[in-house]
Amino acid sequence: MNTQRSGSSAQITLPPSLMNRRALLKTLGVGAVGLAGVPLLSACTGGSAPGGGSSGSKTVSFGSSASDDVPKRAYQAVVDAFQKKSGATVTTNVVPHNDFQNKINSYLQGSPDDTFTWFAGYRMQYYAGKGLLAPIDDVWEKIGANYSDALKKASTGPDGKMYFVPNYNYPWGFFYRKSFWAEKGYAVPKTFDELKTLAAKMKADGIIPIGFADKDGWPAMGTFDYMNMRLNGYQFHVDLCAHKESWNQPKVQSVFDTWKALLPYQDPAALGQTWQDAAKLLGDKKTGMYLLGSFVTQQFTDAAVLADIDFFPFPEIAVEGQDAIEAPIDGLLLSKKGGQNQTAKDFLAFLGTPEAQNAYYAVDSSNIATAKGGDTSKFTPLNKKCADAISNAKHISQFFDRDALPAMANNVMIPALQAFIKDGSVDIKNLESQAAALYAAQ
């Protein structure tokens, strides 16, 4: 609502003499529509779904942020399979990915769909803690056996109840082209020093050693997370994200100091390009390696290039070798309203089965199914490696923006990391004072 208000105050600043009456009315109209925008949007994404919320009619409304072509078709395959199996009707409302995330607050307070796509971690616990989600312990009784303890833990809310059904996850690591490395004689680095040596060699060979893109602000968080976990351990990452640890301490400073040694090898054009741009550079052999999630492979439409892609985990630095892996989990939540709809719960229970996850994976193979017993026969060697990396890890972290307060990730970390990438400077004292103010406001 507040955005709309600032929008309408911008409207009154137009000098009245410029406007004839019609224009004035039009402006007021625009203001009014803008104001009405929030409820209208939530209405068309959810409230209008026929029968949503009623328990007897066997219908489910499903809000999906999977707006890109591949995941959109993949979710449709899951929906089709469920409809065929149960005879229920699922109404899917697809909202562009970023819009969905930007509107989530008003969406959940308005009339959300029964079930909707979201992420695990603090990002899920935050809304669960605010009472905007329905617990699904009864669903987990049916599907619990399909999941590992790490995934169960990631689906648990702050009150100990279950809220989330994982669909897939994907590891972060350094991706590279096998043939290119073989041709140049590069070897996978195991330690941070080896990584630096390799990067220096690549630079001498005239290529950009490490692909990097941070125009959108979030990709640099992956580098931060890994450096932080390798230097200070997984638990410190979790505590720092939850602001149980102060930002103003040598442990945090050491992350930036270590990163600074890597900065000269990362693509200097990072701030002007998106991850898709950087993925293209990797595919074209203009960069040696690229630290990103395995979704990077969605960009390689040429089958020959895709088959040539491999990855290695972030090298060890200090404390725990390579035990922790960053592997964000995506899945479904049940809205408060959807809690009264048994069919919606059936849909969630279905998603937690190997059958549903196979249906998803058959279309979108860039992600790894989370339920045990899924069909792995179609896994490519890269898929298998991704799945192994996740199942062998002792700790699975979410991404910074999923483990931390959203305002901390969006309003503080994005500008701070962009400034750091520019000239290697960071003010951890200021990070702490911002964190203190923002976490206190929640």
Residues lying near another protein in the complex (CB under 8 A): 1-6, 8-15, 17-18, 28, 31-32, 35, 101-105, 108-109, 123, 130-132, 215, 217, 269-273, 406-407, 409-411, 414-416, 418-419, 422, 427, 430, 433-434, 437-438, 440-442
- Is residue 175 within 8 Å of 275, Cβ to Cβ? no
CB closer to another protein, 108 vs 227: 108
> How is residue 302 annotated by DSSP?
S
CB closer to another protein, 58 vs 215: 215
CB closer to another protein, 316 vs 432: 432
CB closer to another protein, 121 vs 315: 121
Lookup result for tokens 């409820």: 39
CB closer to another protein, 108 vs 390: 108
What single letter denotes the amino acid at residue 356? A
CB closer to another protein, 187 vs 200: 200
Per DSSP, the three-state class of 45 is helix
- Min dist CB 305 to another protein, Å, is 19
CB closer to another protein, 85 vs 422: 422
What single letter denotes the amino acid at residue 299? Q
- Min dist CB 250 to another protein, Å, is 21
- Min dist CB 423 to another protein, Å, is 10
The pair of structure tokens assigned to 50 is 């026929």
> How is residue 315 annotated by DSSP?
P
- Min dist CB 96 to another protein, Å, is 13
The pair of structure tokens assigned to 25 is 């009315």
Q: What is the DSSP string of 141-170?
A: HHHGGGS-HHHHHHTB-TTS-B-EEEEEE-
- Min dist CB 164 to another protein, Å, is 17
- Min dist CB 88 to another protein, Å, is 31
* Cα–Cα distance, 345 to 339 (Å, whole number): 7
- Is residue 283 within 8 Å of 305, Cβ to Cβ? yes
- Is residue 93 within 8 Å of 61, Cβ to Cβ? yes
- Min dist CB 6 to another protein, Å, is 5
Q: DSSP E strands: which ranges in 31-171?
A: 59-64, 89-94, 115-119, 164-169
The two most distant CA atoms of the chain are separated, in Å, by 73
